[in-house]
Amino acid sequence: MKTGTIVALAVAGILGGLVVAAVLWVYLRPLSVYAWMGRRTLRAVKVADVAVETPAGRQRAFVGGTGEVVVLLHGAGDQAGAWSRVVPALVRSYSLIVPDLAGHGESEPRTGPIGVDRILGGAEGVIETLAQGRRVTLVGNSLGAWVAMLVAQRHPEWVERVVAINGGASKGTNAEAVVVPKTLADARAAMTQLRDPGSPALPDFVLRDVVRQAASGPLARFVATAGTMGQWTLDGRLGEITAPVTLLWGVSDKVMPLDYANRMLAELPSARLVTLEKCGHVPQNECPEQLLAALREVLEGKQ
Residues 6+ apart with CB under 8 A from 105: 35, 39, 60, 79, 80, 81
- Indicate whether this model's pTM tops 0.75: yes
Are 136 and 243 in contact by the 8 Å Cβ rule? The answer is no
Q: Where are the domains of the chain?
A: 3-299
Cβ-based neighbour number of residue 42 at 10 Å: 23
* Local confidence band at 4 (pLDDT 50, 70, 90 cut-offs): low
| Average of per-residue pLDDT across 259-266 | 96
The answer to which of 51-60, 79-88, 176-185, 216-225 has the lowest mean pLDDT is 176-185
CATH number of 3-299: 3.40.50.1820
Which of 3, 2, 87 has the alpha carbon at shortest distance from 46?
87
pLDDT number for residue 303: 55
Which of 15, 33, 34 has the alpha carbon at shortest distance from 25?
33
CA distances, 20 to each of 27, 28, 269 (Å): 10, 12, 56
What are the backbone angles phi and psi of residue 55, rounded to the nearest 5°? -60, -20
Distance CA 235, CA 243 (A): 17
| Average of per-residue pLDDT across 96-118 | 97
Distance CA 251, CA 254 (A): 8
Indicate if the pLDDT at residue 178 is higher than 90: no
pLDDT number for residue 37: 96
Q: List pLDDT tens digits, range 53-91.
A: 999 999 999 999 999 999 999 999 999 999 999 999 999
Indicate if the pLDDT at residue 109 is higher than 80: yes
What's the mean pLDDT when you consider all of the chain?
Answer: 91
The answer to which of 39-53, 114-128, 174-188 has the lowest mean pLDDT is 174-188
- For 42, the enclosing helix (H) or strand (E) is helix 30-44
